[in-house]
Amino acid sequence: MDLSTAALAAHVRKEFSKIIVGQTDAVDQLLLVILSGGHALIEGVPGLAKTLAVKCLAHIFSLQFQRVQCTPDLIPADILGGNIFQPADGTFRMNRGPVFTDLLLVDEINRMPPRTQSAWLEAMEEFQVTIDGTSYPLSRSFAVFATQNPVEFEGTYPLPEAQLDRFLMKIRIGYPEATQESEILSRYQSGFEARDFERAGLERVSKETLQTAREEVARVQVEPKLFDYIVSLVRATRDSAAVSLGASPRAAVAMMLAAKALAATEGRNFLIPDDVKAAAPPILRHRMLLKPEADLEGITPDQVIAEVLAGIAVPK
C-alpha cells in the first residue's frame, strides 16, 4: 500500500476506530510517536485499552510485537536475554530477550526495580544492547511503548529523570464519554471481540510504508524562527517559578520531530507554530520536575505548559 503520510494517518485512524471507541487524541499521539521513530509513556487507569491500543498499532503497521509484564523481581536478563551455556558442546548460545523486536510493550513499567529500569537506557537511546561485552543492534523500527497506572503506588518505583527524558511523549488516556461507553457495550453485545484483529478486518500497511512516511516527515521544512520559538518554550520551563528542573535540550529536538510528524499527517511539507503548540504538552509534561510547594498547591505540569505557551510570542 503506497500512501502519503496524510493518507496513512487517515487510514490508521479508520482502522483504530474498528477496535477502539473514541480516544482520538491518544491515537493521534501514538501515530506521531511511531512516525517520529520515538518511544512513548502511556498513562491511564486500568481498563482504558492502553495495551490494546499498542497491539493494534503494531498490527496495523505489520510490526513484530513483544510484551514484557513488569514485576518487582524482573531482572535485566529477562528483557535483554543472555548467553546460555550448552553442556553438549561446551559453548555458549545467545538467547535473545523480548527487546529484540520492532514494537515492545512494557506493561506497568513503574513496577520494574531500578536496576532493571537502567537496562533500558542504552536500548532506547542507541538502539542497541550490550550483553557480556558484545553489542547487538536492534530493529530499525524498534520502539518502546510503556504503560503505567497513575493512581497505584504500592510496589512501584518512580522512573528516573534520565529514563523519562528518553520517552518522546507522555500520552494520557482518560475515560471515554458516556455515549462512547454505550457504544462499547453495544459492540460487545453484537459479538465484538477486541483481541481478534483479523475478524475486525484491520487492513495492514507494510513496514516499508512506515519507513517511507518517516522519510517524508524528515523532509518537512522548518524556518529558523521556529527553531527559536521551540527553544524559547523549552527554556521557559526552566525559568518557571513552579519548576525545580526544566526540560532538557533533548525536549527541543523531540518537539521539533513530533511537530514535523504532525505537519506531515496534515499534508504539509512545512512547519507552522500551531504544530509546535499541539506537540508541546505530551512532549514536555514528563520532562519537568515540580517544586514540592507547587505540588502541594495542586499545580500540574500541563498548567505550567499552558502558562509557558501563553507567555511566549508566536512567530509571524
Q: Considering its fold, how many domains does the chain have in total? A: 2
For residue 42, pLDDT beyond 70: yes
CA dihedral 216, 217, 220, 226 (to 10 degrees): 180
Domain shared by 29 and 132, yes or no: yes
Query: Would residue 292 count as lying in a domain?
Result: yes
Q: Which of 160, 177, 206 delimits the end of a domain?
A: 206
> Mean pLDDT, to the nearest integer, of 9-38?
92
185-215 confidence digits (pLDDT tens): 998 888 888 878 888 888 999 989 999 999 9
Domain shared by 117 and 193, yes or no: yes
Domain shared by 114 and 241, yes or no: no
Do 204 and 59 form a contact (C-beta atoms < 8 A)? yes
Do 138 and 128 form a contact (C-beta atoms < 8 A)? yes
Q: What does the pLDDT read at residue 152? A: 62
280-313 confidence digits (pLDDT tens): 999 999 999 899 898 888 899 999 999 999 999 9
- State the residue for C-alpha cell 514484557: 68
Domain shared by 168 and 88, yes or no: yes
Domain shared by 41 and 166, yes or no: yes
CATH number of the domain within which 261 lies: 1.10.8.80
Q: How many Cα neighbours within 13 Å face the side chain of 19?
A: 27
Q: Map residue 141 onto helix, strand or coil.
A: coil
235-268 confidence digits (pLDDT tens): 999 999 898 888 999 999 999 999 999 999 999 9
90-121 confidence digits (pLDDT tens): 777 778 889 999 999 999 888 888 888 888 88
Query: Would residue 231 count as lying in a domain?
Result: yes
Instruction: Quote the pTM value.
Output: 0.90
Q: Map residue 79 onto helix, strand or coil.
A: helix
Q: What does the pLDDT read at residue 167? A: 94
Residue type, 9: A
Which residues does residue 95 pair with via DSSP β-bridges, in sequence order?
82
The whole domain housing 263 covers: 219-311
Domain shared by 89 and 20, yes or no: yes
